[in-house]
């Protein structure tokens, strides 16, 4: 019987070694699975954070677009006001020159009349 047990144990040694080898592989597989699960969780969290930041950026983008539209409208309004002011200024300069020329022409006539009156 002893011989049979020795023979049986000797026959199981490769099987036992294989079992231990498989258990080690299983343990490595579990550790790898835990690592992969943790990495997946971290990546999921990171993707969610990025999504939130993207939504915030989109909100900021639309707010910035609204601010830009308002500024463009204000710039357009200021340009129109500037054009009107320039037109009014040009008209005022024209009127002042005309008035000045009319006054000069009138004074010139008076000088000529006085010169003629003095000459007589």
When pLDDT is cut at 50, 70 and 90, the band that residue 12 belongs to is low
* Residue 9 confidence (pLDDT) above 70: no
The band of 103, judged by pLDDT with boundaries at 50, 70 and 90, is: very high
Q: Is the pLDDT of residue 6 over 70?
A: no
Residues 7-13 have a mean pLDDT of 53
How far apart CA 66 and CA 22 sit, in angstroms, is 64
Query: pLDDT digits over 23-53, tens only?
Result: 999 999 999 999 999 999 999 999 999 988 8
DSSP line for 72-107: HHHHHHHHHHHHHHHHHHHHHHHHHHHHHHHHHHHH
Average pLDDT, the chain: 85
For residues 43-66, give the mean pLDDT.
85
């Amino acid at each position: 019987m002893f011989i049979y047990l020795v023979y049986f144990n000797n026959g199981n040694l490769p099987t036992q070694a294989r079992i231990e080898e498989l258990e080690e592989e299983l343990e490595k597989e579990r550790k790898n699975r835990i690592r992969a699960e943790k990495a997946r969780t971290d990546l999921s969290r990171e993707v969610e954070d990025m999504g939130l930041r993207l939504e915030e950026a989109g909100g900021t983008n639309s707010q910035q677009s609204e601010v830009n539209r308002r500024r463009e409208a204000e710039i357009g309004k200021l340009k129109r006001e500037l054009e009107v002011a320039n037109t009014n200024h040009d008209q005022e300069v024209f009127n002042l020159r005309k008035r000045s020329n009319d006054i000069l022409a009138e004074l010139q006539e008076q000088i000529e009349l006085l010169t003629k009156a003095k000459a007589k």
